[in-house]
Amino acid sequence: MRCLGRHAAVVLALLGTGCPPAAPRLAGQDGPSNAKPEAPPEATILDAPWRTAAGQAAETEGPGSQAPGHGPTVLLRGGRLLIGDGTEIARGHVLMKGGRITSVGSGDGPHPAGAAIIDVRGKTITPGLIDPHSHLGVYPMPSVSAHWDGNERSNPVTPGVRASDAFWPQDPGIQRAVAGGVTTIQSLPGSTNLFGGHGATLKLRQATSAQAMRLVGAPTGLKMACGENPKRIYGERKQQPMTRMGNLAVQRKAFMKARRLIQEWDRWREVEAQRVKRHAETLAEIQTKRAHRQRKRQACAEGVHDDQQCTEWERVWHDEPLTDPDAPLAKLPPERDPDLETLAGVLEGMVLPHVHCYRADDMTNMIALADEAGFQIRTFEHALEAYKIRDLLAKRDIAVITWADWWGFKMEAYDGIPENLALVTSAGGRAVLHSDSHEGIRRLNQEAAKGMHAGRQAGLDISEAKAITWITLNPAWALGVDHRVGSLTVGKDADVVVWDGNPFSVYSRAGRVFIDGLERHNLQQPGKPWSDFEAAP
């Protein structure tokens, strides 16, 4: 009798037909008969926390985070426009819809159905003002020691602490700043430490948490310091740093450790990639063999091969089952360290360093350190002697964040001059005005006017359209959010201020302030205080 194929032979052998039984295939041993080989799934290898979108989102988003998208349709027409990018329109319009600017230009503009139309003839429209160096919320009003949360004076190296963890949204200074036309701030730790911690880039809207005020997507900023403050505070404790030498030595060492962490992560990822690759290759090899066996089984079922050969194959396959191996255990990734991870983010350009420095030599020393460690300084804060090295700062694209005329309150502040902003601007640099004060933040427009006047008195050509960039687009760039705020540009957030006159006049005030297209301040209709610690008007 001609013996039948493999599957029939097994049945007949049990009935005593004499055909040699084929070795039975164990259930699941080689997969179903119609299985096709599939490539193993691509493995995602864990990356360093500062490189991942999830790690960045943890810093920029949280419960209550808001983004534009729900503002009403409002048309401002007939006013003078200071665009924020160095240009102006003598008589124009701004249309806001859904929290964004949707039209800007000359004339009255479009008339969308249902839009609230506001006549602003005789007034000036600017972008919302931006204060990139504020201590609102971390040194809030009233100024009592219980509220002093801006300096973690336990160690000169604390880059991992976050201003957002200490920010008090009940600070009465927030609403007062909005009344001065300010719509966005960076609330920073102080300058006691060489690495003070993360800043928080916030929209000034009424909220119960710093997370609800965040400008979603803003990059992390790191406050650093050089000069007198760190060496004075820690020198009084007889610990490093006690000198400017110590300042740089401690910072250099910290960046060396961060560089080592980057190398550890890269090595771990390389080893992990090899482990995953070897496992994938093993799985692929098994799937190839499994597919080969399936083809032979199919051929045996169709009678292509001799039954004795088929039976022999089944015996061999039974003794050599093709089971998927367990993946080898991965080694633990490098130990987490918020301080070093922050500095690693600086080294890889994901965290923006804002360096508190006054003297020109301190700034050049910090630039040398940045070159040695391998990072780019985003801004020098205060920078009273920036005018001495303005060409270098312009070439390096380092913004200068400073006051209009503060000087002389300590030794490293003795060579400050009121022409600083104008001189940096004339050299092609990025000049930025900051407040560093819960009082000064209420009159950034007047401070910009002082800087503009000082420049003009020195013979420098500083227009109002250029001076407004000091408190709009330039600080937006400094914070890495110029794609969102800082100018009256279609597509940007509808952060807009209507001034009741020329914003560079001491007699002008912010009449109406819109943040994300919602009116947050109206001079004629003050509304209730945002803070429980503010007196009613």
pLDDT per residue as tens digits for the range 423-440: 999 999 999 999 999 999
Tell me: pLDDT of 7 over 70. Answer: no
The partner residues of 79 in beta bridges, in order of sequence, read: 92
Q: Give all strands of the β-sheet with 129-134 in edge-to-edge order.
A: 129-134, 182-187, 200-203
What is the per-residue pLDDT for 326? 85
What 3-state DSSP class applies to 283? helix
What is the pTM assigned to this prediction?
0.87
CATH topology agreement for domains 67-128+487-537 and 129-250+338-485:
no
Segment among 23-27, 179-183, 488-492, 507-511 with least mean pLDDT: 23-27
Question: Which has the closest alpha carbon to 218: 348, 70, 62?
Answer: 62
Neighbours of 334 (CB within 10 A): 20
Give pLDDT, residue 536: 78
Mean pLDDT of 322-335: 88
The one-letter code for the residue type at 189 is P
- At residue 68, the pLDDT reads 58
- Domain 129-250+338-485 CATH (choose: 3.40.50.300, 3.30.750.24, 3.20.20.140, 3.40.50.150): 3.20.20.140
* DSSP H or E stretch at residue 37: none
Write down the domain spans for the chain: 67-128+487-537, 129-250+338-485
Residue 5: per-residue pLDDT: 37
Strand partners, 74: 96, 116
Distance of alpha carbon 98 from alpha carbon 116, whole angstroms: 13
Three-class secondary structure of residue 10 per DSSP: helix
Instruction: Check residue 29 and give its pLDDT.
Output: 44
Is residue 161 scored above 80 in pLDDT? yes
Does 353 have pLDDT greater than 50?
A: yes
Residue 9 has pLDDT above 60, yes or no: no
What percent of the chain clears pLDDT 70, i.e. is strictly above it?
A: 89
Domain 67-128+487-537 in CATH 1.10.10.10? The answer is no
